[in-house]
Structure 1
Amino acid sequence: MNMYKCFLDLGVWPAHAVVKVDDTGVGIDEGVAAGCWTVGVALSGNEAGLTPSELAAQSPDQRSEVCSFCRPERTRSPLHHRHSRRSAPRH
Structure 2
Amino acid sequence: TKYKSDGTIDKYKARLVAKGYAQQEGIDYEETFAPIAKIKTIMMIFALATQFGWKVHQMDVKSAFLNGDLQEEVYMTQPEGYVIPRKEMM
TM range (shorter): under 0.3
TM-score, normalized by length of structure 1? 0.21
Greater percentage in strand = 1
Higher relative contact order (CA 8 A, sep 6+): 1
Greater percentage in helix = 1
